[in-house]
């Protein structure tokens, strides 16, 4: 695998905007798109230095990942991801329509995948796909453990929160799979914002 390229402190502090282009023509993403089929699971392999986690399928390492977390992705320099061929992605956030959304970007800061939320359902979008991620169950307390990733009428994959895994019944873009694993665990900032009931005069 290739060397890990660290951002400088100055680069990490530069704000990212929602107008970032998706990875497209002329990029390695266009020449060799990443698709996942079968069951892949996340396991911890380190404690302090990169990599801390890896996504594996049948004993094969698909990606290696660095430290993650809600604050690190939404307000820090993001989570480092290294693909098997050495290409580097980062899970971080951008501002979009007044909201903070998680995205995966490549080394040229082009979007590989982007997520948004509406009424407990997530949209996971990329250049060549648009998926919906929704809970497969409604627990009485807490967050659902099993989620369904769907595109149109096709159920592409089951995403499990704990232990973290993606079981793709049909081909799923690797960016969509990785971003799904992140949002089912950490939510979006707007989901953590308390809502204030509307007050209307003359109504009880």
Domain spans, the chain: 9-189
Question: What pLDDT score does 193 carry?
Answer: 54
What is d(CA 136, CA 6) in angstroms, rounded to the nearest whole number?
38
In this prediction, residue 46 carries a pLDDT of 92
Query: What pLDDT was estimated at residue 120?
Result: 79
pLDDT value at residue 70: 92
**pTM for the whole thing?**
0.78
Cα(140)–Cα(8) distance, integer angstroms:
44
Can you read off the two tokens belonging to residue 31?
A: 């020449």
Report pLDDT for 188. Answer: 86
pLDDT at site 64: 97
CA distance 75 to 77: 7
Q: How far apart are CA 156 and CA 170, in angstroms?
A: 5
pLDDT at residue 165, as a whole number: 97
**What is the reported pLDDT for 13?**
37
Which stretches of the chain score pLDDT less than 70? 1-33, 192-204
Residue pair 46/74 in contact (Cβ under 8 Å)? The answer is no
End-to-end CA distance of the chain: give it in Å, rounded. Answer: 64
Residues 172, 35 contacting (CB under 8 angstroms): yes
pLDDT of residue 4: 34
Q: Tokens for 197, please give them.
A: 């009931």
Q: What distance in Å separates the CA atoms of residue 104 and residue 84, rounded to the nearest whole number?
A: 16
């Amino acid at each position: 695998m290739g060397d890990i390229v660290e951002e400088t402190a100055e680069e990490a502090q530069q704000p990212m905007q929602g107008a970032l282009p998706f990875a497209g023509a002329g990029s390695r993403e266009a020449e060799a798109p990443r698709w996942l089929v079968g069951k892949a699971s996340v396991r911890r392999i380190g404690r302090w230095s990169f990599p801390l986690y890896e996504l594996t399928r049948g004993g094969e390492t698909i990606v290696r990942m660095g430290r993650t977390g809600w604050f690190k992705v939404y307000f820090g320099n993001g989570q480092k991801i290294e693909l098997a061929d050495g290409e580097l992605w980062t899970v971080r956030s951008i501002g979009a329509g007044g909201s903070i959304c998680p995205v995966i970007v490549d080394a040229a800061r082009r979007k590989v995948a982007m997520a948004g939320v509406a009424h407990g359902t997530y949209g996971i979008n990329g250049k060549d796909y648009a998926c919906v991620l929704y809970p497969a169950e409604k627990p009485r307390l807490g967050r659902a453990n099993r989620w369904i990733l769907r595109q149109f009428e096709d159920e592409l994959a089951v995403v499990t929160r704990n232990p973290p895994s993606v079981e793709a019944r049909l081909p799923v873009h690797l960016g969509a799979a990785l971003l799904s694993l992140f949002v089912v665990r950490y939510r979006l900032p707007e989901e953590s914002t308390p809502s204030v009931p509307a007050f209307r005069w003359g109504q009880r």
